Chain A
Amino acid sequence: MELFSDYTLRVVALGSGVLGAAAGALGSFAYLRRQSLVGDALSHAALPGIAVAFLLTGSKAPLTIMLGAALAGWLATLAVGLVVRRSRVPYDSALGMSLAVFFGIGLVLLTVIQKRPDAAQAGLESFLFGQAASLLREDVVAMSALGAACLLLLGLLWKEFKLLSFDSEFASSLGRSVGRLDGLFTLLLVIAVVIGLRTVGVVLMSAMVVAPAAAARQLTDRLAPMVALATAIGVFSGVTGAVLSSLIPRLPTGPTIVLVLSSVVAISLVFAPRRGLLWRWISLGRLAPSAALDPVLMHLYALAQQHPGEPDHGHGIAVLRTMSPAGVDLDQVLENLRSRGLVERVDEGLWAPTAIGRREAERHLASQNEAAS
């Protein structure tokens, strides 16, 4: 394709692809560990690091900048950990605070740099908003090297990271140092984020880490395929975004990549086999929660009330059948309720309302009481 004979496009597409791969792969584990927003925090927190790196070395070489960014990001995660461990400030607040405060410090430093005679800080600002078009060959080389290193380490430590994400206590009991593994994982994530800053900018980095994993999770139930898919989706979105943005005038690269990614997520949410929304709609006949609350849920709730303190105490279909009018297909109703997160199967043939289901039932009761009074 003559598209790819364009040097700039080649460079940008390659850089975006590398970013997509690293972010997709490492993002899968962040996603599973419920650390999806760490990417967002890391990318914002990187700013002061970039500024300091420039102030100290006067150089805007990609490796120098990335090192500064990585160190700042690393410091931010340490700060978050410290605050959460030693005070009652919740994790999300600690994350948001370090994100915004570090970024603010970065802004102050940027204005300091701005006033210097060699005001070449225009290059630095491209980190904020992403200016993929300004990527140079040397940038992409650095990115690719780091990206490859990340993926290699991920592959070598695959089972350790899998264990860490699924059951860190068990990992501890086997003698693995959970603290060190966690630190290593964070380091790899920091590198992946830092690789992408120049291309998509600070704000959109969050999506690069989260979205490929989210899309991939809908399509498979096994870890290796999920990570592979996430990597592929990341690469695909990166390259497609780069190509589209070069074809269509005044379409900035970063946002385009993110929109491609979001479309992939949306498509997989709707069309994924077995988990997808379309599938649910076809097989269960319903998509969104209906206005009237299902009587079967109310029956289960009533039964559960007779066993306070035992949320896992299930009741069998036979019991529900006696409480429901004839002709109701209980299996289908229960499956529908389960897909809506309102009930769960606690064991073979035994069902109980989930916490969400209990709340819905209570809400329904409350509104009924209000209507009656």
Chain B
Amino acid sequence: MARESSPALEVEDLTVAYSEQPVLWDIDLVVPTGDTMAIVGPNGAGKSTLIKAAMGLIPAVAGEVRVFGRPFAKGRGEIAYVPQRASLEWDFPTDVLDVVTMGTYGSLGWFRRPGAGERDRARAALEEVAMGAFERRPIAQLSGGQQQRVLLARALVQQAPILMLDEPFQGVDAPTERAIVAVLDRLSDEGKTVVVVHHDLQTVPEYFDSVLLLNVRAIDAGPVAEVFTEENLRLTFGGRVGVLAQIAAAESGG
């Protein structure tokens, strides 16, 4: 089947612009199946934009996205998306279990209601992120790390082979970070493909198999050991990298 031999995600010539100002230029990217990839780059480099454009959430001026060899429109059901938690209105009247259950809406179609089966799947996802005890908690009372874990559970419930996460480690506490990493490890063991917009250079070699260095254009992409070099980091961050990058470069044998 075409599916097995195709990489999970292929992006070709993706270009996004806001009123003629390019935000993403001509991005080519191949994410092999089963890979855990980080997208790093300075602020404004287009990292979130890349994920959103790849998901069709914002319009692209040019380019194509293929999911397991099929056009994106056919393959969108294979991708689960975890947005930045700051982009949501957390004062909404609902509880944790309900938010996670929203992840099942995609498979339910227009008029069906989520039933016991959907809620059980939601509970299982909550257990995975160590939030099982918070089922009935109103989401307005959650801390940042808890919010992040809830959003992750919502994506897990979709049981999609590909996950795209936007800055999941931003501003979370240590237990949450550990929980997320544990989930990423498990997903990797199961052969799922994960793409993560990541802001912390120091943890890239530890958490990820491969990395895309992005600054409006794709600077380089590939296995961490090969690509995460001081030279590339300097190109990406424009010389403002400093100590962190040197550590990272040293760790990856730069």
Contacts and interface: CB of A to CB of B under 8 A. Distances in A.
A touches B in complex, CB < 8 A: yes
Interface of A: 32, 156-160, 162-163, 165-167, 169-170, 172-175, 217, 220-223, 226, 310, 312-313, 345-348, 350
B93 A217 contact: yes
B183 interface: no
23 contacts: A32-B92, A159-B105, A160-B105, A163-B105, A166-B88, A169-B81, A169-B83, A170-B81, A172-B55, A172-B57, A173-B57, A173-B80, A174-B105, A175-B106, A220-B93, A221-B95, A221-B140, A222-B94, A222-B95, A223-B92, A312-B144, A348-B143, A350-B173
B94 A175 contact: no
Interface string B70-112: 0000001101110100011100111100110010011010110
Interface in B127-167: 138, 140, 143-145, 154
Contacts, number: 87
Contacts of A167: 83, 88, 102
B172 interface: yes
Nearest to A172: B57
B3 interface: no
Pick the 6 closest A-B CB pairs, nearest first: A174-B106, A221-B138, A173-B81, A312-B171, A347-B173, A347-B143
B114 interface: yes
A226 B143 contact: no
Given A160-B110, A163-B102, A170-B81, 5 more contacts: A162-B94, A166-B92, A345-B143, A348-B145, A348-B175
B173 A173 contact: no
B138 A172 contact: no
B191 interface: no
Nearest to A311: B171
A223 B97 CA distance: 13
A163 B114 CA distance: 13
Interface residues on B, range: 35 or more
Contact of B94 (A157, A158, A166, A172): A166
B93 A223 contact: yes
Contacts of B105: 159-160, 163, 174
Contacts of A350: 173
B145 A347 contact: yes
Nearest to A175: B76
Given A175-B77, A347-B172, A169 B102 contact: no
Contacts of A312: 144, 171
A348 B83 contact: no
A220 B136 CA distance: 13
Given A156-B111, A175-B76, A221-B93, A169 B144 contact: no
A171 to B, nearest CB: 8
A187 to B, nearest CB: 16
Q: Choose among B88, B144, B176 the residue with the greatest number of A CB atoms under 10 Å from its CB.
A: B144
B111 A170 contact: no
A169 B82 CA distance: 10
Contacts of A346: 143-144, 171
Contacts of B154: 170
A364 to B, nearest CB: 27
Contacts of B56: 172
A312 B154 CA distance: 23
A170 B85 CA distance: 12
Nearest to A160: B110
B83 to A, nearest CB: 6
